[in-house]
Amino acid sequence: MKSILKLGLVLVAAVFLLTSCKRTEKSSTTGWNYNDTEWGGFEKHDYEGQVTGPNLVLIEGGTFSMGVTDQDVIFDWNAIPRRVTVSSFYMDETEVSNVDYKEYLYWIDRVYGESYPEVFKAALPDTLVWREELSYNEPFVETYFRHPSYDNYPVVGINWVQANEYCRWRTDRVNEMVLIERGILNPTPEQKDEDNFNTEAYLLGQYQGSVRKNLPDFKTGGERAVKFEDGIMLPAYRLPTEAEWEYAALALIGNQANQGDERISDRRIYPWNGTTVRYEKRDKY
């Protein structure tokens, strides 16, 4: 009899645990269920955090003195030191290399080359930037961007407009990759002209692509495309601001005397720790 009672208690406890696990989360304002079609279908996502894009590293925000901190011997007064606070942001671990930009040009040529060759020509870097008076840089003009031995070197000859167009292209390709990895879209390498994945067009419903499986729509009970509010797609890539660039160049987070202080008060001579031209790597100099 006791064993039967124990078994009954175990079953009741198991049922209680199952029902509690399946309990729908409710609004603390109205009491209505989240993610429930019968209660209007308002969606609340279990956001796990932003996915780190390829080659990106997180730069922890903080406060630092921006501007010239040494003596202004010519008295220009065009970079007066001032306290600036920078929010956390992502930045590439390395410069955009020649092979990175070649991938961009390859995509431009494959998608727009036949119908809009001027788009490809406008994206080409200016290799003549190597030419200077009283210097012989002709080998760089001919080989720096084209030869594979320079693939991992930073790309040069890119103007501000080209850099911003590259950021837009990278935003689209990374978000397309995210949707493919999530099983929402199928890869479509045959994209041509205007029929290519664009983040803004996709979010506005102007581009559908090859859909594999959309997200459930709790409002209608069917399916829907991904929205920016889902937290799946990454924000747009962009060029860093002057403050972000100078702050990231300091690279002192974690090296200040007081780890709990967000203010960066020291500056480096070299990109690594220490005051010598050699830096420690794997406990060796």
Query: Which of 60-69, 196-205, 265-274 shows the lowest mean pLDDT across its residues?
Result: 265-274
Q: What is the DSSP letter of 224?
A: E
Residues with Cβ within 8 Å of 9's Cβ and at least 6 positions away in sequence, in order, are none
Q: What is the pTM of this model?
A: 0.80
205 φ/ψ sector (left φ>0, alpha ψ -120 to 50, else beta): left
pLDDT at 130 over 90: yes
Is residue 241 over pLDDT 60? Answer: yes
Candidates 200, 233, 231, 240; CA nearest to 90 is 240
Q: What is the pLDDT of residue 149?
A: 96
| DSSP 8-state class, residue 251 | -
pLDDT of residue 143 exceeding 50? yes
Gap between the Cα atoms of 244 and 230, Å rounded: 27
Q: Can you tell me the mean pLDDT for 191-213?
A: 94
- 211 pLDDT above the threshold of 60: yes
The residue to which tokens 């803004």 are assigned: 200
pLDDT bucket at 19, cuts 50 / 70 / 90:
very low
116-127 b/e with 16+ CB inside 10 Å = b?
Answer: eeeebeebebeb
* Helix-then-strand count for the chain, H and E: 7, 7
Q: Is the pLDDT of residue 276 over 90?
A: no
Q: What is residue 73's predicted lDDT score, i.e. its pLDDT?
A: 76
For the chain, what are the domain ranges? 19-48, 98-230
Helix ranges (H only) for the chain are 2-21, 98-112, 117-123, 138-143, 160-181, 199-203, 242-250
- With b for 16 or more beta-carbon neighbours within 10 A and e for fewer, the 197-220 pattern comes to bbbeebbeeebebeeeeeeeebee
Residue 131 φ then ψ, to 5°: -75, 125
Mean per-residue pLDDT, 50-67: 87
Give, for 84, the enclosing helix (H) or strand (E): strand 82-86
